[in-house]
Amino acid sequence: MKRLSTIIMALALVLGMSQCKKQETPTNGNSGEKVYITLNVSNSESLAVNVNDNGGRHAVAPNLGVIQFTNGDKLYVGNNGKYVGQLTYNNGAFGGTLYYPTSGDYLHFYFLGNAELSEALPETIEEGTEITSRTISIADQTSNLPVLCYGHSSQPYTGTGSNYTAVLEYKCALVRFNLNKETDYKCTLSNMPTEATISFATTAGDGFTPIAKTSTTGTIDLYREEGNTGVRWAILLPGTNLSAAGNVSGAPSGTLNANQFINSGITLINPEFAAPDPANAVKTSGGVMTQFSVSSTQKVYFSRANLRFGVNAGQNGSTNPGWSLHATQLDEHEDYYGQHNPSSQNPSSDMDRICWGRLSNDGGNFAYPPGGNWIYPDNSDLTGDNDWGSVLTGDGNNNWRMLTASEWNYLFNGTARGTRRFLKVRIGIPMALADIYGPAGFRFGVLLLPDNYNGAGLSMKDKDNKTYSFNNSNKGFVLMKPLQADGSDDVSKMLNAGAVFLPGLGYRNGDDQVIQQYQQYYYYNMSDWQDYGYYWSSTHVNSYGVNETDRMAKVLYFDDSSVNTGLDMFRRRGCCVRLVWDAN
């Protein structure tokens, strides 16, 4: 039976140079046996990266270039050309069992900063097993900087009592990026090497490359310190040409070296536009986390609900007048009889049928009731501050936008989206659910289905138990079974699966302020089913009108018998706005 021996070693951690080497005398261990070793960490238990000393695994303080080990960190060990085990950090020391090390070669130590391995390295190793390499990915650095280090014991392993020390050195570069525009959202570098090969295949000394980048390139998601929205950090591989990222300025010429520490002079340009983070946007702004193709190359996420101006319903729970999204997709709370003064920038009651665009110098607080003279941007498409997406700034971003007319058309007619693209429906809202979904009664509208939706889990029965199909037809609609509090109805299932509902709410006339072509239908009044939906696009129409009040823009229009993704509409009229966030 093989005997288990213990060796105690000292581990010094440095940035580019050797530091103190604490000497310890190990107990005897014989070549070819299992050996339990303990490495006491010197140099204040740190490797020259301390962001805030509270990280889960090797907290990093980039400003100082110092890494602080934390319990659970791993050191992987190689010997005689193969992987022989791993050591785990606990309260000041690394400890663990090495399996069948042999004399004549060094003990090679690899700290991989919890980077993602292509295949996990086992904690126990059967005799005769040979693992010579692994590939690691450094692409995701959002919560952890994957610092890469290597060092070998000060002298070859002998299997007998001896003094050993080891010095780990960086095999990566640590780089700071100042943002030219602060943001909470994910920032990325493109065209960067994202993988490295970890080689255990050596039998002596330094005559090999223990950690080397591969030819794989991609996107690296950068690390942000808690509370710091103006700086990002990255671990980059030796041989990386930082200027290839394309969205940086001040990058050093040539390629990066191991042990390189750059903490100033590099700027990341327009970071939130370089890598918008839809998941984070949904969390803070509200949105539907399924993708919808709006062209052959562009996908989007929809906002949670229609845009509205509330007299006491601003963003983030504010009770001041301002812009926000309705609470649910079925919501509509505009006063049907409300009269908005077109000579005043703000309405006297809530409004969700709004004019085509906004002025870029309005301060972000004007609602532009239909019929005013200030609401007609130049005769061009809406972009930037003129786009209604720009009013949702309370979440720290300006990435919401309106769809173009061609994008609306692709949503409804693009065959690449699959065979089930939309379904026109009338939805029953019981009185018991009116507080959640708006006024009780029937809500007419369009259910837009995510790309290649398969309808799994649906009963496929309408109110009269007739089977319905997603035929993308302009004709007719399906009278659905009423919404259920437990979500068991088909509409709730589709919404929970990521469908988008566009309620048909008519439009508000820009002359007399009356809402046209919309009526709330109650259960006791079902004689006239016709309703209409109007949703602005960002696309202008320049073939109408010399006067501003005669100018038009494109809208998505639908009723119970037709869909038109490019109808001309006077810009002074109030239509619905549904915003999107680019997913790629």
Structure tokens at 281: 């946007």
Weakly modelled stretches of the chain, pLDDT under 70: 1-33, 38-67, 160-164, 202-207, 270, 272-288, 311-321, 332-349, 359-378, 393-398, 438, 471-476, 510-530, 543-550
pTM of the predicted protein model:
0.53
Enumerate the domain spans of the chain: 5-271
- For residue 220, what pLDDT is reported? 93
The C-alpha angle with vertex 558 and arms to 552 and 563, in degrees rounded to 5, equals: 95
Distance CA 35, CA 397 (A): 55
User: How many of the other CB atoms lie within 10 Å of CB of 118?
Assistant: 12
Residue that has been written with the tokens 């570069």 in this structure:
173
Q: Which residues contact 540 (CB under 8 A, 6 or more apart)?
A: 379, 380, 381, 382, 551, 552, 553, 554
Which residue type does 274 have? A
How many other CB atoms are there within 10 angstroms of residue 209's CB atom? 15
pLDDT value, residue 235: 93
Identity of residue 258: A
Tell me if 277 sits within 8 A of 189, measured CB to CB. no
Q: What pLDDT is attached to residue 93? A: 80
SS3 407: helix
**pLDDT of the residue at 493:** 87
pLDDT of residue 48: 33
